Amino acid sequence: MQLGVKGLFVLFLPLLLLIGAHKFYVSVTNIEYYDKGEALQITSRLFIDDFEKVLEERYEVRTFLATPDEIANANLHIEKYLNAKFLVKINGKTAPYNFIGKKYDNDIMVCFLEIPNIALEQIDSIEIQNELLMDLFEEQKNILHFKILEKKKSFVLIRESNKGMLNF
DSSP of the chain: ---HHHHHHHHHHHHHHHHHH----EEEEEEEEETTTTEEEEEEEEEHHHHHHHHHHHH-----TTSTT--TTHHHHHHHHHHHHEEEEETTEE---EEEEEEEETTEEEEEEEE-S--GGG-SEEEEEE-TTTTT-TT-EEEEEEEETTEEEEEEEBTTB-EEEEE-
Task: Report the domain count for the chain.
Answer: 1
Report if residue 2 sits inside a domain.
no
pLDDT tens digits along 78-87: 999 999 999 9
Report if residue 14 sits inside a domain.
no
Report if residue 11 sits inside a domain.
no
CA angle 70, 71, 73 (to 5 degrees): 130
pTM recorded for the entire structure = 0.84
Q: What is the mean pLDDT of residues 65-74?
A: 97
| pLDDT surpassing 50 at residue 21 | no
Query: Where in the sequence is the domain holding 62, given as residue range(s)?
Result: 25-167
Looking at residue 151, its pLDDT comes to 86
Report if residue 68 sits inside a domain.
yes
